[in-house]
Amino acid sequence: MPSMSANNFSRNSHQHHPNQTKGDFFARKQKIEQQRKNLPIAAVERRLVEEVRNNDTLIIVGETGSGKTTQIPQYLFKGGFCRDGGIIGITQPRRVAAITVAKRVSEECGVPLGQKVGYAIRFEDVTSGLTKIKYMTDGLLLREALLDPYLSKYSVIIVDEAHERTIHTDVLLGLLKNVQKARSKCISEAVNTDHNNSNNGHASEGRIDNQNDGILKPCQAKKYHPLKLIIMSASLDARVFSEYFGGARAVHVQGRQFPVDIFYTHKPETDCIDAALITIFQIHLEEGPGDILVFLTGQEEIESVERLIHERLRQLPECNRKLLTFPIYSSLPSEKQMKVFMPSPAGYRKVILATNIAETSVTIPGIKYVVDPGLVKARTYDPKMGVDSLIIVTTSKAQALQRSGRAGREGPGKCYRLYQESFFEKLTDSTLPEIKRCDLSNVVLQLKALGIDDVINFDFIEKPDRTAIVNSLWSLYLLGAVTEENKLSDVGYQMAKLPLDPVYSKALIVASQFGCLKEMLICVAMLSVESIFYAPREKLEESRNALKSFASPDGDHLTLLNVYRAADEFFQKNKTVNSEEKAEKNLRKWCKDNYINSRSLKHARDIHSQILRNVEQMGLRVTSCEDDMLLFRRCLAASFFLKAAMKQPDGVYRVTLSGLIVQIHPSSVLFRAKPECIIFNELVHTNHSYVRNVSRIDYLWLIELAPHLYALQD
DNA sequence: GAGCACTGC
């Protein structure tokens, strides 16, 4: 993703130009030095390094624009924290942030990316033996912990953007707390006792034992340095982190943000879309130059606001029509997303209609005005029913603040909140942490693989609901990952090694026994990505026809398989006559012609090659069932038996385990066919309860292949 | 015949 820039970073992410002259190079170097010196954080460099030296855990609250993400690792490097061979790891919740920040820091250090400074994200490791400052995603560090439970190569770990409280950040914090304790225990033991523990810690190498106070097993102390932990957060909720880490010291670093005037409405608004439109035109007609960013809840709302803006523009005199609209949301194809970054033609004003993708993930330059209706489409999870819901709720105060901040990145700005000030006061301080609103099977499996058996009593910074954990344990038990004694089974340990939803990991193991692993690898890779099909409103008919050429009467799983195979065949054929690069480009064109989201397909292909490598390493045999689709569907039933449904006389479906009444989602190829018995992968509640990714099966297969659940029923 | 915010391994 070329010109997307990460949070906190849009003003100074220039690229190193390959053919610049020596003079340019020195001028540029000097400029970078100047910029670094001017950062608010530069004034407290020595104090910060001292704080880290004196405190094993430090909370740093740094406002936007303080430079904490780029500077602190460099200060610590200079301060000698890598001297014993340890490295500094910095985690980010998002991939783009890890990449762009690493690029900037390597440039500031005047070294090529991947040497002293590098980054690692899924599918991409730009580090080497020389790397001392390593930026990475938090999910990746969690994975590393599975291979190296003591995270022994790190002398410092910085968890950045901790206030976002992603599920990975929360689990990581718990893990790091354990690792830190264990590593300092090792060292104190080594000092206090004559270390005759040379045969310790080998039997369970690769697993953490937390039977004693949630601490790792004693280890060979010489191997480990104490671990310095830094939690960086943008908001003022340092207290939560500080309390969690036993009253850890918290320091505050000034930021640099231009002032943003906040406006509220005088009366409550009943029609948000209308209020947004009025505000947009008010800004357009009365305010000075500068682009407008409008936060909306979803694709549909964005499309209708866009339509209404164009309608109203036509009613304005010619001279007032210089307003351009740009939608941006995650399922929009990249080339359309990129358009928001193009500067507007002279005299024109841009209106960017965005979901909360523009809140943190994407920074759009030129924004001076923010319109915030105060709503967001949020995902919640009901662990009892296994239902995801997507509902529109009010934002938190922190979110509102984050949104208004988007107006003050390049100069003073204005933010129009489409609600009353008294309403703002009633908003919750921050958004509910993700760990409280999603399926936990993966988290539970990962923790168990790390040797943390008592997940219910794990020291989470925020405890998930007990029922959520219990239900995850139950489904892991039904998948054979956990034994009746609540211990991880061998199958469970294998499943934990795969970077997939546990149900999908299990499907690969089942498929290897059925002899259709080749097909299941594709199927699981496709199920793991979002929206493979792209259906723009204006070309609904064409996109539907395109889908027909891939559709299988047996369901969405085989349809996805057909799409992947068609794409792969096209790509392989192309590669015999073209360069890899050209073939990739042609594949993107092929996707466009077939109304397939090329970004999603690329992602599926990446996942496919990664999990193919994984299963080969695990020693599974990758065989194909060729054209025996009956066998493959039986394998789907044997894998996804937890989510099956039967047709009712009135045409709706009843989920076998929960009794929930659902419908097949209209995007499914089985929407009209309505077979008697189905398995599905996703249950989402929007206006109705819908199941997605559905395949036709025979109920008798469930009795045969999942007798532990189905043989007892009537 | 409906429609899905965002991340991540």
Residue A13 has pLDDT above 50, yes or no: no
A216 has a pLDDT exceeding 60: no
Considering all nucleic acid strands, name the nucleotide whose C1' atom is nearest to the C-alpha of residue A143. B9
- CA–CA gap between residue A606 and residue A611 (Å, rounded): 9
B9 C1': nearest CA residue: A499
The gap between A166 CA and B8 C1' (Å) is 9
Strand partners for A375: A394
Nearest residue (CA) to C1' of B7: A94
Q: Which nucleotide is nearest to A376 (CA to C1')?
A: B5
A464-478 mean pLDDT: 91
- Rounded CA-CA distance A348/A346 in Å is 6
**For residue A372, pLDDT beyond 80:** yes
Element holding A43 (H helix, E strand): none
Asked whether residue A166's C-beta has any atom of DNA/RNA strand B within 7 A, the reply is yes
At A483-532, the pLDDT tens digits run 999 999 999 999 999 999 999 999 999 999 999 999 999 999 999 998 89
Q: Which is more confident, A76 or A709?
A: A76
Interior/surface letters A119-137, b for 16+ CB within 10 angstroms, e for the rest: bbbbeeebbeeebbbbbbb
Identify residue A613 by its one-letter amino acid code.
Answer: R
* A300 CA to B5 C1' distance (Å): 12
pLDDT at A334: 81
**Nearest residue by alpha-carbon distance to C1' of B8:** A139
> Is the Cβ atom of A378 within 7 Å of strand B at any atom?
yes
User: What is the overall mean pLDDT for chain A?
Assistant: 87
Distance A194 CA to B8 C1' (A): 43
Distance, in Å, from the CA atom of A381 to the CA atom of A122, rounded to the nearest integer, reads 26
| Nucleic strand B within 7 A of Cβ A375 | no
Global pTM? 0.88
Q: Which two tokens stand for residue A72?
A: 């602190």
A432 CB inside 7 Å of strand B: no
Average pLDDT over residues A82-100: 90
Tell me the average pLDDT across A423-448. Answer: 91
d(CA A241, CA A249): 10
Cα–Cα–Cα angle for A699, A695, A562, nearest 5°? 145
Nearest alpha carbon to residue A500 among A98, A139, A94, A92 = A139
Q: Nucleotides of chain B within 7 Å of a protein C-beta? A: 1-9
User: For strand B, is any atom closer than 7 Å to the CB of A55?
Assistant: no
Any strand B atom closer than 7 Å to A499 CB: yes
- Determine the average pLDDT of the residues in A664-677: 91
Closest residue by C-alpha to C1' distance, nucleotide B6:
A357
Report CA(A638)–C1'(B6) in Å, whole number: 32
Question: For strand B, is any atom closer than 7 Å to the CB of A377?
Answer: yes
- State whether the beta carbon of A384 lies below 7 angstroms from any atom of strand B: no
Report pLDDT digits (tens) over A532-557.
Answer: 988 777 777 778 888 888 999 999 99
DSSP A362: -
Two structure tokens written together for A533: 């099909």
User: Is residue A210's pLDDT more than 60?
Assistant: no
Is the pLDDT assigned to residue A9 strictly greater than 70? Answer: no
Query: A193 falls in which pLDDT band (50, 70, 90)?
Result: low
- pLDDT at residue A114 in the model: 93
Is the CB of A358 less than 7 A from some atom of nucleic acid strand B?
Answer: no
In angstroms, the CA A197 to CA A192 distance is: 13
3-state SS record for A131-148: CCEEEEEHHHHHHHHHHC
Q: What is the pLDDT of residue A688?
A: 87
Taking the C-alpha atoms of residue A337 and residue A263, their distance in angstroms, rounded to an integer, is 29
Q: What SS3 class is residue A664?
A: strand
A378: nt with nearest C1' to CA: B5
Which residue's C-alpha is at the least distance from the C1' of B5?
A377
Considering Cα of A463, then A467, then A470, then A471, what sign does the dihedral take?
A: negative
First and final C-alpha spacing in chain A: 53
Distance A14 CA to B7 C1' (A): 25
**Would you say the C-beta of A441 is within 7 Å of strand B?**
no
Nucleotide with the nearest C1' to A356 CA: B5
pLDDT for A559 beyond 70: yes
| C1’ B8 / CA A139, Å | 6
Which of the nucleotides lies closest to A298 (Cα–C1')?
A: B5
Q: Which nucleotide is nearest to A136 (CA to C1')?
A: B8
Whether the beta carbon of A140 falls within 7 A of nucleic chain B: the reply is yes
* CA atoms of A305 and A294, how far apart (whole Å): 10
Q: Which of A511, A611, A525 is nearest to A560 (CA)?
A: A525
Strands A653-655 and A661-664, by their bridges, are antiparallel
**Contact, A154 CB vs strand B, < 7 Å:** no
Beta carbon of A356 within 7 Å of strand B?
Answer: yes
User: In this predicted model, which residue has the larger pLDDT, A351 or A226?
Assistant: A351
| Span A44-83, pLDDT tens digits | 999 999 999 999 999 999 877 788 899 999 999 999 999 8
Q: What is the pLDDT of residue A188?
A: 67
pLDDT value at residue A493: 92
Tokens of A293: 């960013």
> Closest CA to B2 C1' — which residue?
A666
- The spacing between the Cα labelled CA in A684 and the C1' in B4, in angstroms, equals 9
- Chain A 452-471, CB < 7 Å to strand B: none
Task: Report residue A334 as tokens.
Answer: 């990249």
Q: Is the alpha carbon torsion for A120, A534, A558, A379 positive or negative? A: positive
Mark residues 570-609 of chain A whose C-beta is closer than 7 A to nucleic acid strand B: none
For A120-131, the pLDDT digits (tens) are 999 889 999 999
- Distance (Å) from CA A329 to C1' B5? 9
Of all protein residues, which has its CA closest to the C1' atom of B3? A300
Q: Is the CB of A497 under 7 A from strand B?
A: no
Distance A441 CA to B4 C1' (A): 22
A334 touches strand B (CB under 7 A): no
Least confident of A4-8, A302-306, A397-401, A444-448: A4-8
pLDDT interval class at A223 (50, 70, 90): low
Q: Is the CB of A322 under 7 A from strand B?
A: no
Q: Which nucleotide is nearest to A438 (CA to C1')?
A: B7
Distance CA A331 to C1' B9 in A: 21
A643-652 confidence digits (pLDDT tens) = 999 999 988 9
CB atoms within 10 A of CB A16: 13
pLDDT exceeds cutoff 90 at A695: yes
Q: What's the pLDDT score for residue A415?
A: 95
Tell me, what's the pLDDT at A424? 92
List of E strands, A348-465: 349-354, 367-372, 375-382, 387-394, 413-417
Which nucleotide has the shortest C1'-to-CA distance from A665? B2
Could you tell me the distance in Å between the CA of residue A686 and the C1' of nucleotide B3?
Answer: 9
Lowest mean pLDDT among A187-201, A450-464, A647-661, A688-702: A187-201
Residue A15 has pLDDT above 70, yes or no: no
Q: Is the CB of A168 under 7 A from strand B?
A: yes
pLDDT band of residue A195 (cuts 50, 70, 90) is very low
Q: Is the CB of A433 under 7 A from strand B?
A: no
Please check the confidence at residue A4 and state whether its pLDDT lies above 50. no
What is the 8-class DSSP label of residue A555? B
Contacts of A32 by beta carbon, 8 Å cutoff, 6+ apart: A107, A108
Q: Which nucleotide lies closest to A434 by the C1' atom and the CA atom?
A: B7
Residues 543-562 of A with CB under 7 A from strand B: 544
* pLDDT at residue A11, as a whole number: 32
Question: pLDDT tens digits for A445-454?
Answer: 999 998 898 9
Task: State how far the alpha carbon of A472 is from the alpha carbons of A337, A385, A390, A458, A479, in Å.
Answer: 37, 12, 21, 15, 10
What is the percentage of chain A residues whose pLDDT exceeds 90? 59
Q: Is pLDDT of A421 > 80?
A: yes
Predicted local distance difference test score (pLDDT) of residue A650:
87
The integer distance in angstroms from the CA atom of A359 to the C1' atom of B6 is 10
Residue A255: pLDDT band by 50, 70, 90 thresholds?
A: confident
The β-bridge partners of A232 are A60
